[in-house]
A and B are shown apart, each in its own frame.
Chain A
Amino acid sequence: MSGPSEKSEREQLEEAQQLQQWVRHYAQNRSLPVMVALAEFVLLFLAIGVPSYWGGVAYRAGNIPVFVVCVVVVIVAMAATIFVSVPRWGGRRLQQMSEALYAREGSVTISAPQAHRPWVVAAIAVAFVSCVLGTVVLGLLGYLPSSRYMQPISALYVVPFLVALNFLMRPMTGYIPLLWPLLYSLHAALIVAGAPIVFVGPWESLNMLVPIAGYGVLTSLVGHIYSRWALHNARAIVSRQLDRADLVQDGDQA
């Protein structure tokens, strides 16, 4: 290969390699369906929590019509929660949602996660569920400090679980999902340091919901923005190459 042609060969190859990397980053971070699913869970949690609270208030005040309306809303929300939680229905719906959301730009898949030993996956799941149940039992028996510290205590097992989940999902996910456990730990550290970010009274249950779902939605949003940026870069490389090809063609014709 001669000097200038070698340079153009190298440029073309370098751009192709960058294109491969940007397409991969894009595919790894298509998180819009996850964001929508998390937002749905938050709404369902609120649709169960808020009417439960106000239903109790209405019942104690003797306002039966409001109480009945609250009970109906809770039943519908619980049925919807079951529907979206069962993989057979919810999983299919998530896939349909993904196809609909990305219909214009098409579908891409990343290779399935490496086959991990089933006992590793089972051990992580059992450890996580045991920690959740253990915390609930210790809380009921009065061995845990005030509910103010529920989030920092949960961080002790939620953070390792989210990190383990990220590594189990590789190469389907990149590093952006690690932002979720990172923000969750920061939130816990701020509470321990005495920052006024704790919900009190009837809003106490939000101490867990807001960091779990809120940082999940935020992480998905960052992933989504990054995927748009990656797609923009991939298309910019292609567009640059097409422009160059047009120039060469024009030059040849002249």
Chain B
Amino acid sequence: MELDRIIHEPVRLRIMATLGGVATADFTFLVSTLGLSKGNLSSHVDKLEAADYVKVVKRFNGKITNTQYALTPKGRKALEKHWVTLDHLRAVSKRQRKIE
């Protein structure tokens, strides 16, 4: 089964998986949870946004900007497809163990 290379890059997969568990997460949460630098997060999110997998919403909390990220329906579908691939890989590995 072919994996979606946009998502499958390790950092982007972590971003997608994190956003897959919630409705929205902000910049601070992604940086602190995923151990990324701000620049690194921005560049990977840019790629996911360009693929229409992630939606970026900027809000103002007083004078401070708060950037929120969420998966788009297309992104959620792509992530689901990834989990289907995982199920397939698990099944293959189970079969291999039985043969061995």
Contact = CB atoms under 8 A, between A and B. Distances in A.
A137 interface: no
Interface of A (DSSP majority class): helix
Nearest to B2: A1
B17 A17 contact: yes
Size range of the interface on A?
35 or more
A62 B30 CA distance: 63
A107 B13 contact: no
A27 interface: yes
Contacts of B61: 99
Given A6-B93, A242-B35, A108 B26 contact: yes
Interface stretch (A7-15, A64-72, A123-131, A209-217): A7-15
A19 B17 contact: yes
Interface in A205-254: 231, 234-235, 238-239, 241-242, 245
11 contacts: A10-B89, A10-B90, A20-B20, A20-B21, A106-B31, A106-B33, A107-B25, A109-B22, A231-B33, A234-B18, A241-B14
Interface of B: 3, 10, 13-14, 16-18, 20-35, 61, 66, 68, 82-83, 85-86, 89-90, 92-93
